[in-house]
Amino acid sequence: MTKQQKIAWITGASSGLGAATALRLVKEGWVIAATARSADKIEVLIHHVEIFGGGGRIVNYPGDVTDAGQMQEIVARIEAELGPIDLALLNAGTYLPDTVETFAAAHLQTQYETNVIGTAHCLEPVLKLFRARNKGHIAIVSSVAGYRGLPRSLSYGSSKAALINLAEALAIELRGSKIKVQVVCPGFIKTPLTDKNDFYMPMLMDVDKAAEELVRGLNGGFFEISFPWIFSLLTKLVDLLPDRLYIWTIGKIKEKQWSMKNEQDRGSDSDSASADQSGDGPAKAA
């Protein structure tokens, strides 16, 4: 490793935005300390870099962000084995959609333990190191779902709102220091998390393009990194609505999406029935 190479610790690095960002930074010569529960998936990324090359490399530091002691140990190992961490991209998170019909306290707790408490477990050790040397870069991955309440997002959205608030408070507390704080608020990105959605996702973004935008934002000077920018702008404009008008507007959008989903389901059922009647469908037992 040369002196010029910077070190980034990325959590949630095994897939989705974390993995794509890791590969993007490797192209720019970064050394990536990759953390995720799926150590085998990180090994796939390492082999990808070995085959296709890049100016940097990926080192596997598997772990679960809900384990505070494990995160303390991983940060200490990275600093001892690779060198001082320059960037902490706290990206690990989970998404479990919920509604008033499916809401449960345990459901919310699961998401908060990963999205909020897990982020705090990672933040604590790097913040101590960064403050000790008055240098570092912290980027917390939230979501546009954290701006205001959204349907099917009772637990997830509120956990992401907590992260936005946390990042803002950090930026205020660290104002005047040489520690850079940013919050990342993506829109819909094509990842394993969004693949479980059964509703229309406007301006769904390719994960590699999203990683490109994220890295561009990390190199920039804005506190918030949000993409795709048109979707983010529209979302922020809607968020400016007074409470009553906002709730009515989002409620109507929810009704429209539900109507579109029902029409699609009926269309699928109709296509299946036609196929069965034409003899093109699967054979049925008499």
Where do the structural domains in the chain lie, given as residue ranges? 7-240, 242-276
Nearest by Cα to 32 from 78, 73, 74: 78
> What is the reported pLDDT for 97?
87
The single-letter code of the amino acid at 160 is K
Half-sphere exposure (Cβ direction) of 6: Cα atoms closer than 13 Å: 16
Superfamily name with CATH number, domain 7-240: NAD(P)-binding Rossmann-like Domain (3.40.50.720)
Task: Report helix angle 118-133 to 68-81, nearest 10.
Answer: 40
Helical H segments across the chain, by residue range: 16-27, 39-52, 68-81, 105-112, 118-133, 154-173, 207-218, 229-239, 243-278
Residue 265 has pLDDT above 70, yes or no: no
CB 26 within 8 A of CB 57: yes
pLDDT tens for 162-186 read 999 999 999 999 999 999 999 999 9
Q: Tokens 């974390």 appear where?
A: 18
Residue 136 has pLDDT above 80, yes or no: yes
The single-letter code of the amino acid at 122 is C
pLDDT tens for 211-260 read 999 999 999 999 999 998 888 888 899 999 999 999 999 888 778 765 55
Round to whole Å and give the CA distance between 275 and 286. Answer: 17
Nearest by Cα to 111 from 75, 149, 73, 161: 161
Structure token digits, residue 173: 């507390």
Share of the chain above pLDDT 90, in %: 69
Looking at the annotation, which residues are catalytic? 156
Residue 130, judged by CB atoms within 10 A of its CB (0-12, 13-18, 19+), counts as buried
Range with the largest mean pLDDT of 46-55, 106-115, 272-281: 106-115
> What is the reported pLDDT for 194?
61
What is the pTM (predicted TM-score) of this model?
A: 0.86
> What is the reported pLDDT for 202?
62
**3-state secondary structure string across 164-183:** HHHHHHHHHHCCCCCEEEEE
Nearest by Cα to 224 from 181, 176, 172: 181
Residue 127: pLDDT band with limits 50, 70, 90: very high
End-to-end CA distance of the chain: 69
- Residue 29: partners with Cβ closer than 8 Å, 6 or more residues away: 4, 5, 6, 54, 55, 56
CB 36 within 8 A of CB 71: no
The DSSP secondary structure of 95-122, one letter per residue, reads: ---B-TTT--HHHHHHHHIIIIIHHHHH
Edge-to-edge strand ranges of the sheet holding 224-227: 57-60, 31-35, 7-11, 87-90, 136-141, 179-186, 224-227
Q: Tokens 């769904």 appear where?
A: 204
